[in-house]
Structure 1
Amino acid sequence: MTDTAHERRSLADKLAQAGALTTPAWREAVEAIPRELFLNPGVFLPEGGRWRPMSALATDLKEWIHTAYSLETLTTQLDGHLTADQVSGLVAGLPTSSSTMPALVVSMIESLDVEDGNTVLEIGTGTGYSGALMCHRLGEDNFTTIEVDPEVAARADAALETAGYSTWTVTGDGLLGHPRRAPYDRVIATCLVRRIPYTWVQQTRPGGIILATVGSWANGSGLAKVTVNEDGTAEGRIIGRASFMQARSQAVKPVDGDLSARTAYARSVRQTKVTPLALDEWTPAFLAQLVAPGTQLVRAATSKGEQLLYLFDPERESFAEFTENGPDWQVRQGGPVFLWDRIEKALIAWQIANCPDITEVQLRITQESHRYSIKGDPALSWEHRLD
């Protein structure tokens, strides 16, 4: 095995300089865990809109180590099955497993406020690298990780064993948690979930912390940190921006096919009061998901090259179609729910409140509902009932 102690120290230095790594115990873990062990059998690197495979065995060692200790997210699986050792040329595909950028991994772990002796449940094992950091810090018996993909779980378990950790690696639906080893002091999710499942609250001790990225849009999701109360509720806030792959069972099928057929019957046509390009910003995109859960943002182009923007809620057969009209935008809406009316109302209230950041969003979870609010403003308060 190649000694990568220098690269590990260099990675720790970079993470510390970026403000992601702040405590000595976690720095010790970063310096101890060889990231390259958790990238077998290889990774996919983006190239010209496709993916170039880099196999651990077929790549120059120096190049492989350099890639392993980059600060970027490294894709390890495409389309739920394809790994880098199975192909030799450029391929197309959607990432379904990865080694997340180290700065995000470490900053999330730091945000867990872990204490000695804590037990941690991780949702989404991935490559196992973050699990190894946890095992080094807390001990393998205090750490449980669950992964929905059996092949991903097997590779992670093998890598953890190679690193010296015989921990609890479980294959299953992470949205259900792992009640067998509950209750936990901390729960952390390394996948994107639409909302924090109440099962996680039930499996966390009072005073324990849950950290998860909520939303369904890659560029508009929030890192939620909540503390579980004695009465079975949980409260906290969005502490920052984060982007992960969606939990497999919640993965949204992209809207495709004949978009003109989907938007054929409009019930309303008007000028917008807010530009839909506001949805390119992180906080407005997050608020849009709170107001219209299940809605997808879709971009397309006409045969003449004109850019079009859509909102679709396939389940409710609702849509909003935007076209640029000089400095203004026109919106056509159809279906039982006027999606843009709801979102626009929230964005206007957000602007009136001086555009508070996503970190101003408060969250309260009960068995019956999830309530989001900003500064106690009734116009910036949304409740999702589960009953």
Structure 2
Amino acid sequence: MTKSMGAAEEIALRGLLGALNNTLPSPLSPEWERTLWAVPRHAFLPEQVWVGEDLTACTRTAAPENWLRTAYADDPVVTQINDGKDPGDGERWPSSSASAPSIVLRMLNMLDVEHGHQVLEIGTGTGWNAGLLAHRLGAQNVTTVEVDPVLALQAAQNLKNSGLEPRVIGGDGAAGHAAGAPYDRIIATCSVREVPRAWLEQTRPGGVILTPWETPWFCYGLLRLVVDSTGTASGRFSPHSAFMLMRNQRMDLRIFRDVVREEHVPDESLTQLSPWAVTGDGWAAQFAIGLQLRDVWRTWHDNPNVDGTASRLWLATTDATSWAAVDWDGQTEERFTVWEYGPRRLWSEVEAAYKWWRSVGGPGPECFGMTVRADGAHTPWLTSPSQPVPAMG
């Protein structure tokens, strides 16, 4: 046992290791398994975490068995809500979490670190991921940036308590950390809608940037880029991940507060494309639509108190100038009423994006890639950079 582990923690970690070896594409390497023993996850979680869809508080003192079970489940653990502010009786929403161990290890394998690599992590959180890297590579080779000053201080303390002291920088992760550049690897533990130019500038040629990806339409996928000698980066997506969005890329828009106005007079039409085909369990379709419509977001409104409408799908542009609504009457699955307003016809764009995706065989995220130029331009592609994804709108 390590000095920070008792019998209960050791049993819990053994159970997690067994689950990981069944979940990951390949068994854990001996190096990463030793690292997990040396840097136990529970040592980085706060006294209070939040569990379940309703984000119920769970404290180590009041419910030690539940807390430890949560610490070693292969699930994300919410470690902060509402940016650290007390929500009172208001809505609770997660603002920081410890990622599921399986995605942590999958990303570390994709990062492909080697002895001597300099690594920059964006999004310190609890400090556990930085601790794993520091143990594997040496603390002197790891820098981690955290935008939330309270989280940064706590992570630094967690790392110190574990005998690991990589550089913990408080600041905006989008700016990277130029003082430590160039880096061989940059890894983000938050999703981005655009890869910051600073990351490209601070990665040495041949270096890797690994980041979760998100569009306003859909949060899904990992993007692994390799930077070339001109400062351009290119690489493929892989599926099965969803992370909180980088704070400086957040979007705070609401349909009735920011988009739809009483004086708007939309155009009416009918569609045979089910709104669930582009928002339901078809993750591959949603991913492809997001790549084509980079500025369109959506939200569902059930029981909207509109005669003859059981559910309504809202769509809007991020600049709030165009919107659409697709109504289901609760009966037929063959036609849906469409309302569109503004200079763009958003549902028509979604239909075109979905049709294109179907026409190329319905590929999954692993078939797509992205090229990011030094000037910040992003070009998604299918199969190879010579086949750019069409932009709708």
Amino acid at match of 1:54: C
Q: Shift of the alpha carbon at 1:380?
A: 5.8
Within the candidate set 51, 55, 62, 1:51 is matched to 55
2:379 match: 371
1:226 match: 225
1:15 match: 20
Question: What are structure 1's unaligned runs of at least 5 residues?
Answer: none
1:66 match: 69
Q: Shift of the alpha carbon at 1:165?
A: 0.7
Cα distance in 2, alignment partners of residues 205 and 91 from structure 1: 46
1:291 match: 292
1:158 match: 157
What is the aligned-residue identity percentage? 30
Q: Shift of the alpha carbon at 1:41?
A: 2.5
1:130-279, aligned counterparts within 5 Å? Answer: 130-217=129-216, 219-257=218-256, 261-262=260-261, 265-272=264-271, 274-279=273-278
Q: Shift of the alpha carbon at 1:115?
A: 1.1
Is the 8 Å Cα contact of residues 255 and 298 (structure 1) preserved in structure 2? no
TM-score w.r.t. the length of structure 1 is: 0.90
Amino acid at match of 1:321: A
2:348 match: 341
Q: Deviations over 1:58-108 (max 9, x none)?
A: 333x3332221111111111110148xx99xx9741100111111111111
Amino acid at match of 1:344: E
1:351 match: 358
Is the 8 Å Cα contact of residues 51 and 92 (structure 1) preserved in structure 2? no
2:305 match: 303
After TM superposition, the structure 1 stretch with the greater mean CA deviation from structure 2, 308-317 or 268-277, is 268-277
After TM superposition, the structure 1 stretch with the greater mean CA deviation from structure 2, 97-106 or 338-347, is 338-347
Q: Shift of the alpha carbon at 1:126?
A: 0.8
Q: Shift of the alpha carbon at 1:340?
A: 2.1
Q: Deviations over 1:128-186 (max 9, x none)?
A: 11111111111111111001000111111111111111110111000111111011111
Cα distance in 2, alignment partners of residues 117 and 129 from structure 1: 20
Is the 8 Å Cα contact of residues 212 and 223 (structure 1) preserved in structure 2? yes
Cα distance in 2, alignment partners of residues 209 and 230 from structure 1: 13
Is the 8 Å Cα contact of residues 217 and 298 (structure 2) preserved in structure 1? no
Within the candidate set 27, 31, 34, 1:25 is matched to 31
Q: Shift of the alpha carbon at 1:273?
A: 5.1
Q: 1:192 to 1:264 in 2, by over 3 A?
A: farther
Cα distance in 2, alignment partners of residues 64 and 311 from structure 1: 39
Q: 1:130 to 1:377 in 2, by over 3 A?
A: closer
Q: Deviations over 1:179-227 (max 9, x none)?
A: 1101111111110111211211111111111111121458542210110
2:283 match: 282
1:361 aligns with 2:368: yes
Cα distance in 2, alignment partners of residues 263 and 285 from structure 1: 30
Is the 8 Å Cα contact of residues 218 and 243 (structure 1) preserved in structure 2? no
Is the 8 Å Cα contact of residues 315 and 346 (structure 2) preserved in structure 1? yes
Question: What are structure 2's unaligned runs of at least 5 residues?
Answer: none
Amino acid at match of 1:67: T
1:109 aligns with 2:112: no
TM-score w.r.t. the length of structure 2 is: 0.88
Is the 8 Å Cα contact of residues 207 and 227 (structure 2) preserved in structure 1? yes
Amino acid at match of 2:82: D
Cα distance in 1, alignment partners of residues 144 and 241 from structure 2: 20
1:120 aligns with 2:119: yes
The DSSP-based 3-state class of the residue aligned with 1:257 is helix
Q: Shift of the alpha carbon at 1:26?
A: 1.2
Q: Shift of the alpha carbon at 1:377?
A: 9.7
Amino acid at match of 1:52: T
Superposed CA RMSD: 2.5
The DSSP-based 3-state class of the residue aligned with 1:6 is helix
Q: 1:11 to 1:91 in 2, by over 3 A?
A: farther
Within the candidate set 328, 335, 339, 2:335 is matched to 328
Amino acid at match of 2:289: A
Q: Deviations over 1:310-350 (max 9, x none)?
A: 11114141111001252222221111222222222121011
Is the 8 Å Cα contact of residues 218 and 290 (structure 2) preserved in structure 1? no
Q: Shift of the alpha carbon at 1:272?
A: 2.5
Q: 1:264 to 1:102 in 2, by over 3 A?
A: farther
Is the 8 Å Cα contact of residues 77 and 96 (structure 1) preserved in structure 2? yes
Cα distance in 2, alignment partners of residues 211 and 377 from structure 1: 18
Is the 8 Å Cα contact of residues 350 and 380 (structure 1) preserved in structure 2? no
Q: Deviations over 1:25-50 (max 9, x none)?
A: 1121112222111111320112xx52
After TM superposition, the structure 1 stretch with the greater mean CA deviation from structure 2, 96-105 or 300-309, is 300-309
Cα distance in 2, alignment partners of residues 256 and 129 from structure 1: 38
After TM superposition, the structure 1 stretch with the greater mean CA deviation from structure 2, 204-213 or 317-326, is 317-326
